[in-house]
Amino acid sequence: MTRIGFMSDLHLDSNQFGHFERQTLKDVLKKARIDHLHIAGDLSNDLAKISLPFIEDLRQELPISFNLGNHDMLGLSEQEISGYDFQVQQFGQTKLVSFSGWYDYSFVPEKSKEEHLRTKTNFWFDRRLERHLDDSSITAHILQKLEKLLASLNGPIIVALHFVPHKDFLYDHPYFQRFNAFLGSQAFHQLFVKYEVTDVVFGHLHHRRQSQAIDGVSYHMRPLGYIREWKLTQNFFNTFPQYKIAQMYRLHKRYNTVKNLEEFLNYKKKHLADELRDALIILDTKS
């Protein structure tokens, strides 16, 4: 049996992952008896200078693989992005297929392409990426390659991707609804069902959910996300209510008010292992 651990959305730069954070993660993985770790995208905004050295450091402890997220693509050429897609790893009889994915606006069909592009250009991170095709064409190309690959594989298949493959995981909140178009595509789910994929791990949407089976596919989403979104940050304010601000719903603002406080730094050190463990998905494969 191989115990595969999955994580996503570490955002090493935004979360200021230093020696203590790396060592805590290593300890969590060791305690969980992880044989192989796969990271499903968004390690950082700098693949060469931050993400790859981090991966090499972890590889001193255990085997690591990863696929790109949109943040990892910053500064990469289309050829470099494609080079990380559609890796296939064998664990006993089980294959792990990993790729980044993309989006085609199909989650928000009531808006026009022009409306989506205005939102993307003004607000969304991906405006900083230089892709050679439009979003729908990129997704169609990925789906074509994915179907060809899945059709060629036998035995149990686990898929890891970054983007959201089913509409049931989207935020139902007025502020976030305008971004749903850029989160993924329902077409990925349709292929997973067609080729009887057993498990799918993804991230991108910074919201941890319990594993959920849809049409026979088991979905797993437990991204780490930004520290301002972490459970330990919310719990800190519950433990130290004197630091609450009037607009607690403004996560960035509330975090900035406490991030340098000795009480918060100590609280983070005490509870970081629990936060990392909560963002760890474990799937056991048979030999």
Please give the Cα distance from 158 to 196 (Å, whole number). 10
135's CB contacts (< 8 A; 6+ apart) are: 102, 103, 104, 105, 182
Percent of the chain's residues with pLDDT above 90: 85
Provide the residue type at 134 as one letter: D
- Taken in order 31, 34, 40, 44, the sign of the CA dihedral is positive
How large is the greatest C-alpha to C-alpha distance in the chain, in angstroms?
59
Please give the Cα distance from 199 to 222 (Å, whole number). 14
287's CB contacts (< 8 A; 6+ apart) are: 1, 2, 92, 93
Position 22 confidence tier, pLDDT thresholds 50, 70, 90: very high
Could you read off the pLDDT of 144-188 as tens digits, one per residue? 999 999 999 998 999 999 999 999 999 877 777 788 999 999 999
What's residue 287's pLDDT? Answer: 66
Q: 67 with 40: CB under 8 angstroms? A: yes
What's residue 226's pLDDT? Answer: 97
* Across 22-35, average pLDDT: 98
Query: pTM for the full model?
Result: 0.96
What's residue 119's pLDDT? Answer: 87
Could you read off the pLDDT of 188-208 as tens digits, one per residue? 999 999 999 999 999 999 989
Please give the Cα distance from 19 to 32 (Å, whole number). 20
Could you read off the pLDDT of 102-140 as tens digits, one per residue? 999 999 988 888 888 888 888 888 888 988 899 999 999
Could you read off the pLDDT of 62-110 as tens digits, one per residue? 999 999 999 999 999 999 999 999 999 999 999 999 999 999 999 998 8
* Across 250-254, average pLDDT: 93
Q: Which residues pair with 65 in a beta bridge?
A: 38
Q: What is the mean pLDDT of the chain?
A: 95
For residue 62, the 8-state DSSP code is S
